[in-house]
Amino acid sequence: MLNRRLFLSGSAAAITALTLPSSFAQALIHDEMGAVDRWERLRGIAGDLLLRPEDTGFANAALPNNLRFEAVRPEGVVYCNSPQMVADVINWCRDNDMPFAIRGGGHSYAGFSTSHGLVIDMARMDEIAIDAETGVATIGAGAINYEIYAALDAAGRTTTHGRCPSVGIAGFLMGGGIGFNMRRFGMACDSLISAEIVTADGQIRTCSETENADLFWALRGGAGGNFGVATSFTLQTHPAETSITVFRIVWRDKVLDVASALFETIDAAPDTMGTRVAFGGINPTMTGRGRQVPLTLLGQFAGSKEDFLALMAPVLAVGEPDFADIQEAPYWQGQDFLAEEGEPAYYRERSTFHTSVPDREFLAQAIDHMARWPGTGASANLVFFQTGAAVNAVASDATAFVHRDSRFLSTANLSWSKDDTARPDVVRASTDWQDELYALVTASDTKGAFQNFPDPSLTDWRERYYGENLARLSAVKAAVDPTNVFRFGQSI
């Protein structure tokens, strides 16, 4: 039987609900009736955009890209579709002391895009608009590279971007963002004009050089997830070439001689050259078959094939490649050639920045170590991304991205198979080998680590990621998130 008090309270809730968004209306009415738990209140905000473990599609929605962290399963995944919905969800998390992770593409090397609580997925906020006259692009924080590439291609534009189609823009931009264009256009974060972000108090803030300037500074290199949930970015793009030269060249003979010449040659190349140099690990079976450590050069040159070959002449004179694919192509067709799929896998990466060109003594030690990889069911590599030029033209304190004096960024990376997870001794032997490789690398002329490649094994990660900018970043964090709502394993 409906008593008068319940009728009046229910009526008041219904009347109040008429003045509120429908998501709040449903949640409020249920609250007044005292009939729901916290997840039902979140359902009132998100509706069908909330997935729980019993819902169809939850297992795939909860799966991280780095399968090392597949056991970290959230209690829910919510797909936000507007800045206001993001604010409502953050308020819910704060009010319910619910741990959460923000997910764009979900490619966090350290598993920071998943949580035992709630995953806030931004995939629905993927709108992209590019001004035909100015080349200024406004991109939703849930957009992934594949969508951004298509929009830039249609507009005849480019910027500093990565190679993996499923990587999200938000984490990429806020951690700095590397790519083959960085030597001529700078880090991806250097192109940022403004950003919109929801902070811990549920406010939707616009950030630029003139508005919330300290927060805007922090968003350019202070890494994702520290200061709020970014909802959109506005950045400057550049005209894309009608033709570039892309290349993949592999040497398996005279590798030390070739590598020594290669690093000297590309370091002297113009900023229109972007390269990735990789040494592959070989396991005992490969060594027994006479295999040598392979050296692979991948990249692009904003010029002709003829001019590229002229630049590479000193290297090609040292050693003939085992394989070479060099071709001219329209800019975005060339990116298809360079792309890596980035499918979910088990992997671990350790990074550092090189302030000088790797010398022959170091390269000899690195190649020897690569030849002693214990082996897994997948691969191991020592990779060098060429930096310098426009990356270093920006002062180290002009943005939060502090790494402005490097020539190369290296990563000691390791991956293993599903079968290897049942053989922990195999994985452990290779991770120990990887740590020894990282110790070898960091004993050379290196400093710091790349915040876009978070490494849970670092104990001094704050200093390595942020260097001299850490104090200012900590001050920005204290101002916008004083109660540390945005927290994870390596949050500021």
CATH number for the domain harbouring residue 133: 3.30.465.10
- Judge if 287 and 326 occupy the same domain: yes
Distance CA 184, CA 222 (A): 22
What's the total number of domains in the chain? 3
User: Could you tell me the two tokens for 108?
Assistant: 């966090």
Distance CA 128, CA 233 (A): 10
Distance CA 142, CA 195 (A): 13
- Judge if 222 and 355 occupy the same domain: no
* Single residue among 61, 92, 121 that ends a domain in this structure: 121
* Contact call for residues 295 and 279 (beta carbons, < 8 A): yes
- Judge if 107 and 256 occupy the same domain: no
Does residue 488 lie within any of the structural domains? no
- Judge if 433 and 474 occupy the same domain: no
Does residue 205 lie within any of the structural domains? yes
pLDDT at 11: 37
CA proximity to 91, closest of 232, 203, 219:
203
Does residue 101 lie within any of the structural domains? yes
CA proximity to 435, closest of 458, 452, 416:
458
Does residue 77 lie within any of the structural domains? yes
Does residue 19 lie within any of the structural domains? no
pLDDT at 31: 46
Overall average pLDDT of the 201-212 stretch: 98
Distance CA 194, CA 327 (A): 37
pLDDT in tens, 21-73: 444 444 444 444 444 699 999 999 999 999 999 999 999 999 999 999 999 99
Overall average pLDDT of the 124-142 stretch: 98
CATH number for the domain harbouring residue 351: 3.40.462.20
Record the pTM: 0.92
* Single residue among 74, 102, 121 that ends a domain in this structure: 121
Distance CA 77, CA 51 (A): 5
CA proximity to 66, closest of 347, 439, 357, 467:
347
Does residue 14 lie within any of the structural domains? no
- Judge if 335 and 369 occupy the same domain: yes
Question: Considering the chain, what percentage of its residues have pLDDT values greater than 70?
Answer: 93
Distance CA 33, CA 25 (A): 12
- Judge if 337 and 416 occupy the same domain: yes
- Judge if 229 and 272 occupy the same domain: no
Does residue 89 lie within any of the structural domains? yes
Range of the domain at 145: 128-240+467-480
- CB neighbourhood size of 36 (10 A): 16
Distance CA 233, CA 219 (A): 10
- Judge if 342 and 430 occupy the same domain: yes
Beta-bridge partners for 204: 198
pLDDT at 15: 35
Largest Cα–Cα separation, the chain? 93
CATH number for the domain harbouring residue 76: 3.30.43.10
- Judge if 235 and 182 occupy the same domain: yes
- Judge if 258 and 385 occupy the same domain: yes
Q: Which amino acid is at 394?
A: V
Does residue 30 lie within any of the structural domains? no
Over 70: is that where the pLDDT of 205 sits?
A: yes
- CB neighbourhood size of 17 (10 A): 17
CA proximity to 164, closest of 176, 183, 148, 175:
148
pLDDT in tens, 300-309: 999 999 999 9
Over 60: is that where the pLDDT of 86 sits?
A: yes
- Judge if 425 and 289 occupy the same domain: yes
pLDDT in tens, 273-290: 999 999 999 999 998 899
- Judge if 78 and 150 occupy the same domain: no
Distance CA 136, CA 223 (A): 23
